[in-house]
Amino acid sequence: DADPAKTMLGEAQWAWLEEELKKPAELRLLVSSIQVMSEGHGWEAWREFPLERQKLYDIIKRTGAEGLIVLSGDRHSAALYEREGEIGYPLFEATSSSLNLPASKWRAQSGETWVEIDPNRKGDMYFDANYGRIDIDWDNRSIEVSILSPEGEAVLGKSLALDALK
């Protein structure tokens, strides 16, 4: 909905976020309860509020916030996303959820199947129970983002060079 009266964040939240993004940091984790970059589904996501999502991208770019990674959930599945051309460096997002009600569980009950096409998604989605983990190697300036099964097995992952997030 492109109605400017419909918002994701209030004025005070936008002001707080902008001030936080201006502070020096080598790595920033921007956590959203819903997906920021996904284009492939019709449920709750920042794409449902395109003016707000663009405002987020503009604030990240305007503040010069480097080292930013987006973490999101509320999909009952997991996936990794990357988007070019919005903030001056590739924006990466990891979506992870859930441990208690994965999509595979209710898909099996309902018999529903679907294919979610998303130009920003890197690789397949993972529909079973999962959780996310981030490992930071400050000496090598690298970040490993992993989606893990409940048993701790890596099912999706991406290595990021901290210096590439500039």
- Token pair 């790595």: residue: 27
> Where is average pLDDT lowest: 63-67, 80-84, 96-100, 139-143?
96-100
For residue 101, name the pLDDT band (cuts at 50, 70, 90): confident
Backbone angles phi, psi at 161, to 5 degrees: -90, 125
Rounded to two decimals, the pTM is 0.93
Share of the chain above pLDDT 90, in %: 81
Listed residue (122, 104, 123) closest to 114, CA to CA: 104
Listed residue (28, 40, 34) closest to 8, CA to CA: 34
- By CB atoms closer than 10 A (0-12, 13-18, 19+), residue 84 is exposed
Digit-coded pLDDT (tens) for 37-50: 999 887 889 999 99
> Where is average pLDDT lowest: 37-41, 81-85, 138-142, 155-159?
37-41
